Structure 1
Amino acid sequence: MSLPATLAEIVDDFGAVSDADKVTMLLEFSRELPDLPDHLREEAMEPVPECQSPVFVSVDASDPGAVRLHFSAPPEAPTTRGFASILQQGLDGVPADDILAVPADFYHDLGLGSAVSPLRLRGMAGMLARIKNQVRTQTGADPGASPTPA
């Protein structure tokens, strides 16, 4: 699997703990989701309708060598915030090609399938899909092309 180093480390951390500890880690990630910068407003961000909670994502790929990601997710949705935080911590500042190379189903390797409903996991897949679509749109990447290996 091709994952950026920080995201791979997060996946490894989840793989090293029990199911109960995975849930605890997800909740810790939810508390680490950064606040939106002052210049961003939810109304200007892309909604992620695959999520059960109102989640919004902002992708800035103006520098394809370091894509910036921001999320808005309500505090009363810790699972969703945790997923957003994992993606934010694992992909923020990563080159566009590396983001496009992340497998759509990488979240299975977090091992949360027994602790989180498939519907919630679908929300994380939706977040990643929207990030990739925005990266492709902003960088002019060919949606059918395979990313080049680093």
Structure 2
Amino acid sequence: MTVHPYLDPEDSTAAAAIAAIGEELGMFDDWLDRYQFIIELGRKLPPYPVELQTEALRVKGCQSQVWLAAKAEGDNLYFAGTSDAAIVSGLVALVLRVYSGRPRSEILATPAQFLKDLGLIGALSTNRGNGVAAMVERIHAIAAA
């Protein structure tokens, strides 16, 4: 079996992924522990190939370097991503858990509002909040194409 960087969905739907992430984050009493959890998620991302770290695949609007690649299988889109910053890699992992392996219609029907609902946007610096929103915008643009 070939290892590839594109994430298969863990959860049956984007909504189920968001609910599961909310439950997982809710297990921690404070944001320091939640940040550690998010960093660990980033460490578990599949290795992202160096050849995909191109300017064309870099997400604009992120303070850190973030790369996001997509591949289509039928109507479903699979995403791979990474960042040069530990916390941002974890945010990449969260976003990909919600969107990767989903039909285009489900991706487009799942706005970035979940990031606020989970308390992530309020807990992040403005630059990181803008960066994670830019990741979702990029995913939506790919799904709409």
Question: What interval of TM-score do these two structures reach, taking the shorter chain for normalisation?
Answer: 0.7 to 0.9
Shift, 1:62, TM fit:
4.3
Correspondence for 1:20 among 13, 32, 35: 32
Alignment of 1:120 onto 2:122:
no
Query: Does the CA contact (< 8 Å) of 1:23 and 1:115 recur in 2?
Result: no
Which structure has the highest strand share of the two?
A: 2
What do the CA deviations read for 1:110-135 (whole angstroms, capped 9, x no partner)? 32345421220111110010011011
* Residues 1:43 and 2:51 are matched in the alignment: no
**Contact 1:52–1:120 (CA<8 Å) still a contact in 2?**
yes
Aligned residues: 132
Letter in 2 for 1:103: P
- 1:53–1:71 Cα change, 3 Å: same
TM-score of the superposed pair, with normalisation by structure 1:
0.76
Question: Matches of 2:23 and 2:87 in 1, distance apart?
Answer: 19
> Greater share of helix residues, 1 or 2?
2
TM-score (norm 2): 0.78
Name the counterpart of 2:6.
Answer: none
CA contact (8 A) 2:70 2:80 kept: yes
Residue matched to 1:142: none
Distance 1:89 1:104, change over 3 A: closer
Amino acid at match of 1:53: S
Which runs of 5 or more structure 1 residues have no equivalent in the other structure? 138-150
- Pick closer, same or farther for the CA change 1:114–1:6 going to 2, 3 Å: closer
Percent of paired sites with the same residue? 29
Q: Which runs of 4+ in 1 moved over 6 A?
A: none
Aligned to 1:58: 69
Q: Which amino acid aligns with 1:6?
A: A
User: C-alpha distance in 1, partners of 2:52/2:137?
Assistant: 21
Task: Pick from 126, 130, 146 the counterpart of residue 138 of structure 2.
Answer: 130
Deviation, 1:24, is: 1.6
Deviation at 1:102, TM superposition (A): 1.2
Give RMSD over aligned pairs. 2.2
